[in-house]
């Protein structure tokens, strides 16, 4: 697990940030912050993994160039081991940092979750914010996100979830 986490951190660190360039056309490479076109996740379905709270399967269904439905199904270790299911509707702001290749985007939005544990179930709402890097020539996306939330059922309780992950787009 430590090797996977190290590999994901390496991917984020390998995105070479360059100074912002002036664009003469909204479709020029300078305006997108890259020297080529990064793959379009809007063209496919993303599946991968997330490490954190929870750790497990990560899915992304793009709903156009500026929105997506992200979900995770994972196992959460900690005070009480449990199965965790979450879904988020996110808005995507692309090209927030200019890079030599690929694309860096931020995303944010509301979500919901359910937790199944030996001692009962819980459900609640959350807000998610994250940053992702999309490689230029391969349909791979790495991401880092944080998602504070509130358990609504069976009692009210706050929590903080976070994850580092990777998705492959088909």
Contact assessment for residue 101 and residue 110, using Cβ atoms and an 8 Å cutoff? no
Question: Domains in the chain, start-ordered, CATH in brackets?
Answer: 2-169 (2.40.160.20)
Q: What is the mean pLDDT of residues 94-101?
A: 89
Query: What pLDDT sits at residue 37?
Result: 55
Q: Are 133 and 11 in contact (CB under 8 A)?
A: yes
Euclidean distance between CA atoms 67 and 49, whole angstroms: 20
Q: Could you read off the pLDDT of 120-148 as tens digits, one per residue?
A: 899 999 999 999 999 988 999 999 999 99
pLDDT at 38: 54
Does the global pTM surpass 0.85? no
Using alpha carbons, list the distances in angstroms from residue 31 to 12, 16, 98, 135: 22, 17, 9, 17
| 59 vs 78: CA distance, rounded Å | 23
Instruction: Give tens-digit pLDDT for 46-95.
Output: 999 999 988 999 999 999 889 999 999 999 776 666 899 999 999 999 88
pLDDT tens-digit readout, 1-55: 344 334 434 434 443 333 333 333 333 333 344 444 555 656 789 999 999 988 9
* CB burial readout 141-154, b (16+ within 10 A) else e: bbbbbbbebebeee
Q: Does residue 155 sit in helix, strand or coil?
A: coil
């Amino acid at each position: 697990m430590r090797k996977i986490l190290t590999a994901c951190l390496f991917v984020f660190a390998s995105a070479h940030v360059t100074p912002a360039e002036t664009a003469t056309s909204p479709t020029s490479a300078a305006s997108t912050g890259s020297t080529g076109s990064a793959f379009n996740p809007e063209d496919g379905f993303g599946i991968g993994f997330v490490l954190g709270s929870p750790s497990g399967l990560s899915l992304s269904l793009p709903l156009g160039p500026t929105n997506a439905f992200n979900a995770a199904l994972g196992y959460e270790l900690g005070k009480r081991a449990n199965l965790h299911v979450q879904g988020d509707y996110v808005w995507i702001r692309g090209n927030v940092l200019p890079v030599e290749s690929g694309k860096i985007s931020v995303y944010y939005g509301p979500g919901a979750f359910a937790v199944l544990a030996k001692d009962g179930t819980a459900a609640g709402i959350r807000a998610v914010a994250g940053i992702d890097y999309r490689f230029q020539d391969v349909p791979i996306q790495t991401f880092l996100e944080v998602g504070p939330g509130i358990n609504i059922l069976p009692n009210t309780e706050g929590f903080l979830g976070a994850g580092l992950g990777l998705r492959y787009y088909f």
